[in-house]
Amino acid sequence: TRAAAVIPAAGLGLRLGPGAPKALRPLGGTPMLVHAVRAMARARAIALVVVVAPPEQVPLVRSLLDEHPPPPAVEQLVVAGGATRQESVRLGLAALPEDIGVVLVHDAARPLVPVETVDAVAAAVRSGAPAVVPALPVTDTVKAIARPGAPGEPEPVVATPERALLRAVQTPQGFDRATLLAAHDAATSDLATDDAGLVERMGVEVVLVPGHEEAFKVTRPLDLLLAEAVLARRRI
Ligand code: CTP
Ligand code: MG
């Protein structure tokens, strides 16, 4: 069976500040989404890329991808996304042809993921792991609170989990197709912030493989500065 990448790109990018949807904002003069699609299409394992675009921007994203065609062996599809990331991923999964056996879900907001990371995730799924997540040790100590406080109010700490046992997770997260579809079907609320979280709730084992610093998510304006610097370093 073939492997596909589903790229949720339908978010607004509110934390990045005013402007176009995040996936369409330029990085090194090229929309972030184009970088993310390329990063996935370059991986040997990937035969199909499904981009989940903001509903109003589907035609724009189609023409953008036509301007930046993938390698000849890779097919591209663009579908409209939903109101949450989880809903967007679900809509992307619904567009997968029958012969896709492995699915990698990758945020458009992680445009600089190295191809080695993509290959490693795909290989681990091929070797039999139903759910594979790239992750890095956290560098900041993490505190837990009972609930988010009102803006500007101090927040009481309830716990400090041992940092050595914490990992920050990235994408692409790789899955056996049936496992990921079942996890999305079983999802009741929209609270999961990643796909592996839905798989965990079904009681299926999720494993971590090494992530990469350059697979960081562009969320706030400072992240965009860092992404521009990483890209400039690559182009030297
Ligand atoms: N995403 C999506 N559909 C949504 C919300 C998010 O496809 N309704 C995608 C984003 O486009 C992004 C990925 O999920 O590639 C990770 O989400 P995030 O970094 O939170 O991006 P945004 O939701 O766009 O940003 P913000 O939360 O700051 O508005
Ligand atoms: Mg978001």
Determine whether the shortest distance from the Cβ of 129 to ligand 1 is under 6 A: no
Q: How far is the CA of 53 from the centre of ligand 2 (A)?
A: 14
Beta bridge partners of 6: 50, 105
Taking residue 2's Cβ as centre, other Cβ atoms within 10 Å add up to: 14
Beta bridge partners of 31: 26
What is the per-residue pLDDT for 6? Answer: 98
Mutate to test the pocket of ligand 1, among 37, 90, 107, 224 (most ligand atoms within 8 A of CB): 107
What is the per-residue pLDDT for 139? Answer: 97
Domain segments of the chain as ranges: 2-135+168-235
Q: Is the pLDDT of residue 158 over 80?
A: yes
Alpha-carbon span 33 to 162, nearest angstrom: 36
Amino acid at 174: G
Residue 172 near residue 40, CB atoms below 8 Å: yes
Alpha-carbon span 23 to 93, nearest angstrom: 19
**Can you tell me which residue has the tokens 């079983």?**
186
Q: How far is the CA of 12 from the centre of ligand 1 (A)?
A: 6
The structure's pTM equals 0.97
Determine whether the shortest distance from the Cβ of 57 to ligand 1 is under 6 A: no
The CA distances from residue 121 to 117, 157, 163, 178, 223, in Å, are 6, 35, 24, 17, 24
Mutate to test the pocket of ligand 1, among 12, 34, 106 (most ligand atoms within 8 A of CB): 12
Q: How far is the CA of 99 from the centre of ligand 2 (A)?
A: 31
Per-residue model confidence as pLDDT tens digits over 104-154 = 999 999 999 999 999 999 999 999 999 999 999 999 999 999 999 999 999
Per-residue model confidence as pLDDT tens digits over 218-236 = 999 999 999 999 999 998 7
Alpha-carbon span 1 to 175, nearest angstrom: 13
**Angle between the N-to-C axes of helices 115-126 and 32-41, in degrees from 0 to 180, rounded to the nearest 10:** 50
Residue 51: CB partners within 8 Å, gap ≥ 6? 7, 9, 33, 37, 61, 65, 76, 77, 78, 79, 92, 108
Q: Which CATH class is domain 2-135+168-235?
A: alpha beta
Q: Kind and range of the H or E element at 186?
A: helix 177-186
Q: How far is the CA of 88 from the centre of ligand 2 (A)?
A: 11
Ranges of beta strands (E only) in the chain are: 2-8, 26-27, 30-31, 46-53, 75-80, 100-105, 131-137, 144-145, 157-159, 167-169, 173-176, 207-210
What is the per-residue pLDDT for 189? Answer: 77
Q: How far is the CA of 236 from the centre of ligand 1 (A)?
A: 30
Q: How far is the CA of 9 from the centre of ligand 1 (A)?
A: 6
Determine whether the shortest distance from the Cβ of 224 to ligand 1 is under 6 A: no
* Radius of gyration (C-alpha) of the chain in whole angstroms: 18
User: Mapping DSSP to helix (H, G, I), strand (E, B) and coil, where does residue 95 land?
Assistant: coil
Task: Supply the ipTM of this predicted assembly.
Answer: 0.99
Q: Measuring from atom 8 of ligand 1, which residue has the nearest CA?
A: 84
DSSP type of residue 71: P
Q: Kind and range of the H or E element at 212?
A: none
Atom of ligand 1 nearest to the CA of 11: 24
Atom of ligand 1 nearest to the CA of 107: 15
Give the CA-trace dihedral at 189, 191, 196, 198, to 10 degrees. Answer: -20
Judged by its nearest atom, the ligand closest to the C-alpha of residue 9 is: 1
